[in-house]
Structure 1
Amino acid sequence: MKPLLPALFLGLGLSTAAVTPAAAYPVDCAILLCLAGGWPASVECAHARAVFIRRITPWPIEPPLQIWNCPMRASFRGANRSLDRLFDIAVRGDLAAPAMSFPEQAVEPMLVDAQADVDISDPAFDFVRSIRVFEITYQQRRSSDGDCNSWGTVYMGSYGEQGDYTRMRSSTSAIPEASDFAIPASCSSYWHRSVFVEWRDYEGTYGHEEVHY
């Protein structure tokens, strides 16, 4: 997939060689593509990753990928082609498809609230559903009478079949091992507050980031 990402960037009006203002393209399209490709080195992907992480930096915490803001079923002047088809070419390696070129600023998005505007139920888009966000607050201390007291809340955000985002109550046992969260066995004083996000790219490579506060 990675060798085909430049063509996909061009389809979104992105350039892997030149600095492009963030407003020149839908940042969630860049997040979608850069995440799929394992965050390849480029100005756009650096910006996309920064936005991805900033969204989980308190407060408020937002879905790191807001796929409903990426017009994958966009139409272009002069052609009945769509970004979902271009994405399909890049992800599935459909090299038999004809070459495409798109004029800049020709996108007319057709969006559907809170989910992708195309069917992403195919396993090719499992990298979207691999994203999980954990909001972790935990405290432990020993009381004056010797009891070990602990308090904590964990919320987990995840993506559904069509990219819809759900936040629900979870537990400390669900926190991934890659997190810095670690309850001391001796009941010593412990305080942890963080937001942890994990994902896998299109090839299944694992990645994560944790923001402490």
Structure 2
Amino acid sequence: MTTHEVPKAETAALHTGRDEIRISSFLLGVRAEDLWFQIGTPRGINEELAPLLTMRMPAHATWARLADVPVGEPAGRCSVRLFGVLPVDYDELMLAEVTPGERFREESSTRTTRLWGHERTLTPTPEGTWITDRLLLDVRPGLRATRAIHRRIATALFEHRHRRLRSRIGPRLRIERGLGGSRSQSGSGSGVRS
């Protein structure tokens, strides 16, 4: 896959009625610990979602980093807004597992899904870091007819997030480490990994 191509997500309709989506990208010259620090903040999340969406953390949240969110406990309702203005969904955030610097697994619900399962894994290599997102979606019973649409929207959203990671966040992290980097270098080696 060339530098400017979008990775293709693997999707599967599971026999359980849930959909699984998996997408991976390689960030050349980016250390996993630097990437973890970036993606583990509300600012980092919103940088990935921009300019399409923003996610506002719960008003009562006392944590500023993903690693500080209580595991296994509801963390509150996050507002998801189109272009930062129009509320389009919410996320009842709950982290099921966090391994700082390596992975997290979210088991939340939204207005349209009983389960919004999101697992993000960082895999370091000598040349950079693989970032893999795995989603499990269980659309609410009254919305089953829209299941394919939900799957397409979630796939497009995470392809967008990975484009942002490769084109904006990865190069900035390389520059901050003094490794140079320009938009044309971003994302080399990106693609789906099994």
TM range (shorter): under 0.3
- Structure possessing the higher radius of gyration over alpha carbons: 1
Higher-strand-fraction structure: 2
Return the structure number with greater relative CO, CA threshold 8 A, min gap 6. 2
> TM-score normalised to the size of structure 2?
0.26
> TM-score normalised to the size of structure 1?
0.24
